Chains A and B, each alone.
Chain A
Amino acid sequence: MKTFLKDPKILIGTVLTLLIVLLAVVGPLLAPHGEYDIVGRPFTREGTFLGTDYLGQDVWSRVLYGGRSVLIIAVLATAVGVLLGIVIGVVAAYAGGWLDEILMRGNDVLLAFPQILIALLVLSAVDQPTWWMIVLIVGIAHAPRVARVSRGVALTYVNQDFITAAEAMGESRWRVVFTELGPNLAVPLLAETGLRLTYSIGMVAGIGFLGFATDPGAADWGQMTNENRLGLLVQPWGVLAPVLIIGLFTIGTNLIADGIGQRTAKGAS
């Protein structure tokens, strides 16, 4: 872990990510105004330094309130997607044969759909989307991509002699997967997890922007960009503030993922 933080890429990424997570977590405590308080006329420089939004609510306060839901949903969705994907990918790689074929061809079919399309299809079919729906949709949309990567990573190990040696000794298949294969996959898949987190944030915010928020009135970085886009020319901060924060966060997680990926490619873990 310490060697990771010596890499400037990973260090900068970690600092950015932590700063924004901190902002989202303690934000509501620091906010000068309430989440729904009307502090002035809409789209003006009234309120704190970022001005007001389409209803006259304080943009800075809503930015501070609006991170939690996005981040929590994104993190949970990433966890669901990565876990599901790794299980599918590693099982396919280790089992091989027909099971590998079935899993991977099914995977290819899912890969053919754009992620956001699946999300819209499901969300437009329900009256009111709940947070766990978004978690599941985004997570499941990630799974086939993670499955492909983890199968690839696992394939480089499944035919190595140390796996054969464990099998020849009569180790159970699960033990082979968890104690022999697993530790070797951890670092490369950590990089993939970081990348998926980046996409999750984008997707969750995008779903908010498209109007499928779980609570239409609540502050939410994605939803804010939608609400305030009409005033983009008069009061750009209503859109720019959440966009910048999402941008910085994705850059942060991406830098971490990229840094870890490069280090594993070099074999320096």
Chain B
Amino acid sequence: MSTAAQPIEPDEAVCTASDLRVSLRARGVDVVDGVDLVLRPGKIVGLVGESGSGKTTSGTALLGYARTGAAITGGQIIVAGHDVRSMSPGQVRRIRGIDIGYVPQDPSSALNPAIRIGAQLRELLDLHNVGTPAERADAIRTILPEVGLPNTDEFLRRYPHQLSGGQVQRVALAMVFLPRPKVLVLDEPTTGLDVTTQSMVLETLDRLCERFAVAALYVTHDLAVVATIADRVAVMYAGQLIEIGPAAEIFNRPGHPYTRALLNAIPHLHRSFALTGIPGRTPAPGARPSGCRFHDRCAFAIAECAATEPDYADVGPQHHARCIRTGELPAWDPRARAVADTDPQRERDLVLTVQDLNVYYGPAHVVHDVGFDLARREIVALVGESGSGKTTISRCVAGLHDQWDGEVDLGGEELVRSARRRTPEQRKRIQYIFQNPYGSLNPRRTVEQILLRPLELFGVAHGRAARERAAQLLDAVQLGEGALSLRTNRLSGGERQRVAIARALAAEPDILVCDEITSALDVSIQGSITELLNRIKNERSISMLFVTHDLALVRSIADRVLVLQHGRLVEGGLAADVLDRPEQTYTQDLLAHTPTLEHTLE
């Protein structure tokens, strides 16, 4: 709130927001309030938060934009000398794209597939009447080599579909930097990209921001990405900035319990951590608690936390946290949560063997001669980039895809292709959990109906016993019994995924097939789901096939890992061995491109 807590050198800052407030018009509720941000040329500020924290709202507010139904109702926004809030919509439009640029998720989607590259690049300059036509052509030819693209006429005449995926991203980046903006708001630009592409985009962004002295705000939920690219990090929770400081400071000496909880939910590549989530839900605008907004979920909260709204307290140089107890927190040591890797000598009691698996989608041959096995109480991770066949393999094991040949053997019985033709006992033993909990639960049925069906279908329990069982299952996934009567649209993403896990557990399976089950969820929820899966594995002796693209997550959850590329098995073995001593160049590449917190640790 007070600008004194955050010294501003006005000669240096190119974009400042002070005491920024965005409210929902109809309800008069603040989505974001009291946000102060200072962006300096050539520096990237990472704005981190979970969904509902108001990070995107704060980011777009810098462009003078609030989504439908919301309005910027307070504070001051200065962009390159313009006072954005006092400008007319027409004036704001003129500085957008020129003085301040916005890069959305997957920037390449901004390219029109029907327009040639050269024309698309020129369009923006023409629109804003930048320079003479000759100067515009010149600007295009200078920017392309900067992003690692040729500037030949032949290249400019191409259509987007004639470029590779990486090149399309580079063109999109060229478009962003072409008008030489002074400020950039990057809104999760790499979410959904493969690690190698992501690493290229991050590296290019970092280089160009420095080269053209662009002040950037990088909005994301991914702390590992922020650790890779940001100079300063700002953490948002429930519409407030709760901690801000230099990146190395934030990751090594987090001063706010929320930041610490977030960091506790993040896996590391080279050390196995017991991940933990944050209890409770992020409060919605209008339902935020008084005092410190995190006090009801905070492990360090005292009575006073509920009463007083904390101001920024100094944690270190240029490093402030909105917490009254920040000085009393125990010293931060991420290594305290480290757990032992899987014992290589452990005996393996095999439950599933896959041999010579070849999978087809119509005429396309997508998986080639893959073989692996899975032992009781073991988690095997299938990792790879999109198109590597990891999900396809998991679907074949579960019988959801039937165009395959090879041998899938479940405890001595060979499985037929489709789940429908397998015996009920075989179907019961393998349960599948889908990536997207918004699609995998029927929106018209209650949680109880969803849980009762597998209990009855597989003959686990009937009638009253089944209802008791359903309540126990909810308890096992840490949801209250009250959720039984709710339809799934009343639940958050993390709660839905817990219901999906409970439905899978209802069948009392031997094997859970988990298809990217945390990738649609926030980091803290990913942490708690990982915690839950580890507990389920140990308590129920269940084995899991865990499909993921996140190599760091593998270290914290899996015993063994299989790396796939273009449908072929590249490397496999104990998670610790593969991640610490990769033998194949592809695995080494993947590891090198995976964003991680580790390099920031002192």
Interface CB pairs A-B, < 8 A, 15: A160-B439, A160-B440, A162-B440, A162-B442, A165-B432, A165-B440, A165-B503, A168-B399, A168-B419, A168-B427, A169-B457, A170-B419, A171-B457, A180-B442, A184-B443
The answer, yes or no, to whether B436 is at the interface (CB within 8 Å) is yes
Nearest Cβ in chain B — how far from A151, in angstroms? Answer: 19
Give residues of chain B (567-587) contacting chain A, Cβ–Cβ below 8 Å.
none
The answer, yes or no, to whether B398 is at the interface (CB within 8 Å) is yes
Residues on A with C-beta less than 8 A from B399 are 168
Known: A161-B434, A161-B436. A168 touches B442 (CB 8 A): no
Known: A161-B434, A161-B436, A164-B400. A169 touches B427 (CB 8 A): yes
A184 touches B454 (CB 8 A): no
Which of B427, B436, B439 lies in contact with A170, CB distance below 8 A?
B427
Main secondary structure of the interface of B (DSSP, over half): loop
Main secondary structure of the interface of A (DSSP, over half): helix
The answer, yes or no, to whether B420 is at the interface (CB within 8 Å) is yes
Which of A162, A169, A171 lies in contact with B441, CB distance below 8 A?
A162
Closest to B436 in A: A161
The answer, yes or no, to whether B94 is at the interface (CB within 8 Å) is no
Nearest Cβ in chain A — how far from B324, in angstroms? Answer: 42
The answer, yes or no, to whether A7 is at the interface (CB within 8 Å) is no
Question: For the complex, what is the distance from the CA of A164 to the CA of B434, rounded to whole Å?
Answer: 10
The answer, yes or no, to whether A97 is at the interface (CB within 8 Å) is no
Nearest Cβ in chain A — how far from B515, in angstroms? Answer: 9
Closest to A185 in B: B444
Closest to A183 in B: B444
Residues on A with C-beta less than 8 A from B535 are none
Per-residue CB contact flags for chain B residues 418-461 toward chain A (1 = under 8 Å, else 0) read 01101010010000101010011111110000000110011000
Question: For the complex, what is the distance from the CA of A167 to the CA of B400, rounded to whole Å?
Answer: 8
Question: For the complex, what is the distance from the CA of A183 to the CA of B444, rounded to whole Å?
Answer: 6
Closest to B442 in A: A162
Per-residue CB contact flags for chain A residues 176-201 toward chain B (1 = under 8 Å, else 0) read 00011001100000000000000000
Nearest Cβ in chain B — how far from A217, in angstroms? Answer: 50
A168 touches B398 (CB 8 A): yes
Residues on B with C-beta less than 8 A from A166 are 453
Closest to B506 in A: A169
Known: A169-B453, A183-B444. 20 other contacts (CB 8 A): A160-B439, A161-B434, A161-B440, A165-B434, A165-B440, A165-B503, A167-B400, A167-B420, A168-B398, A168-B419, A169-B457, A170-B420, A170-B424, A170-B457, A179-B445, A180-B442, A180-B445, A183-B445, A184-B443, A184-B444
Closest to A180 in B: B442
Residues on B with C-beta less than 8 A from A179 are 445
B: residues with CB less than 8 A from A are 398-400, 419-420, 422, 424, 427, 432, 434, 436, 439-445, 453-454, 457-458, 503, 507
Question: For the complex, what is the distance from the CA of A81 to the CA of B445, rounded to whole Å?
Answer: 28
Residues on B with C-beta less than 8 A from A171 are 453, 457
Nearest Cβ in chain A — how far from B151, in angstroms? Answer: 43
Nearest Cβ in chain B — how far from A83, in angstroms? Answer: 20
Closest to A186 in B: B444
B432 touches A168 (CB 8 A): yes
Question: For the complex, what is the distance from the CA of A92 to the CA of B230, rounded to whole Å?
Answer: 53
Nearest Cβ in chain B — how far from A166, in angstroms? Answer: 8
Which of B424, B439, B453, B454 lies in contact with A161, CB distance below 8 A?
B439
Residues on B with C-beta less than 8 A from A165 are 432, 434, 440, 503
B442 touches A184 (CB 8 A): yes
Closest to B401 in A: A164
Question: For the complex, what is the distance from the CA of A179 to the CA of B457, rounded to whole Å?
Answer: 14
Residues on A with C-beta less than 8 A from B432 are 165, 168
Question: For the complex, what is the distance from the CA of A170 to the CA of B503, rounded to whole Å?
Answer: 14
Question: For the complex, what is the distance from the CA of A165 to the CA of B434, rounded to whole Å?
Answer: 8
Question: For the complex, what is the distance from the CA of A166 to the CA of B457, rounded to whole Å?
Answer: 10
Residues on B with C-beta less than 8 A from A162 are 439-442
Residues on A with C-beta less than 8 A from B443 are 184
A168 touches B400 (CB 8 A): yes
Residues on A with C-beta less than 8 A from B427 are 168-170
Nearest Cβ in chain A — how far from B459, in angstroms? Answer: 12
6 nearest A-B pairs in the assembled complex, by CB-CB distance? A183-B444, A161-B440, A161-B434, A161-B439, A162-B442, A168-B419
Give residues of chain A (134-190) contacting chain B, Cβ–Cβ below 8 Å.
160-162, 164-171, 179-180, 183-184
Nearest Cβ in chain B — how far from A190, in angstroms? Answer: 14
Residues on A with C-beta less than 8 A from B442 are 162, 180, 183-184
Question: For the complex, what is the distance from the CA of A183 to the CA of B446, rounded to whole Å?
Answer: 12
Question: For the complex, what is the distance from the CA of A162 to the CA of B436, rounded to whole Å?
Answer: 10
Question: For the complex, what is the distance from the CA of A179 to the CA of B450, rounded to whole Å?
Answer: 11
Nearest Cβ in chain B — how far from A1, in angstroms? Answer: 15
Residues on A with C-beta less than 8 A from B458 are 169
Give residues of chain A (188-223) contacting chain B, Cβ–Cβ below 8 Å.
none
Q: Which of A162, A166, A179, A184 lies at the interface centre, i.e. has the most chain B CB atoms within 10 A of its CB?
A: A162
Closest to A170 in B: B427
Question: For the complex, what is the distance from the CA of A180 to the CA of B449, rounded to whole Å?
Answer: 11
Residues on A with C-beta less than 8 A from B422 are 170
Closest to B441 in A: A162
Residues on A with C-beta less than 8 A from B441 are 162
Nearest Cβ in chain B — how far from A187, in angstroms? Answer: 9
Residues on B with C-beta less than 8 A from A170 are 419-420, 422, 424, 427, 457
Question: For the complex, what is the distance from the CA of A113 to the CA of B570, rounded to whole Å?
Answer: 59
Question: For the complex, what is the distance from the CA of A180 to the CA of B457, rounded to whole Å?
Answer: 15
Nearest Cβ in chain B — how far from A137, in angstroms? Answer: 35
